[in-house]
Amino acid sequence: MRRDEAALFDIVRFARQVLVFLEDVTLDRFLADKMLQGAVLYQMLIIGEASKRLSVAFRTNIRDVPWVKIGNLRNILAHDYDQVDLKRIWGIALGELPALIDRLSPLIPADRPRESK
Over the Cα atoms of the chain, what is R_g? Answer: 14
Exactly one of 2, 16, 59, 79 is catalytic; name it: 79
Cβ distance 59 to 3 under 8 Å?
Answer: no
Annotated active-site residue 2? The verdict is no
Exactly one of 29, 63, 74, 114 is catalytic; name it: 74
Closest CA to 106 of 31, 8, 20, 26: 8
Cβ distance 31 to 13 under 8 Å?
Answer: no
Annotated active-site residue 13? The verdict is no
Indicate which residues carry an active-site annotation: 74, 79
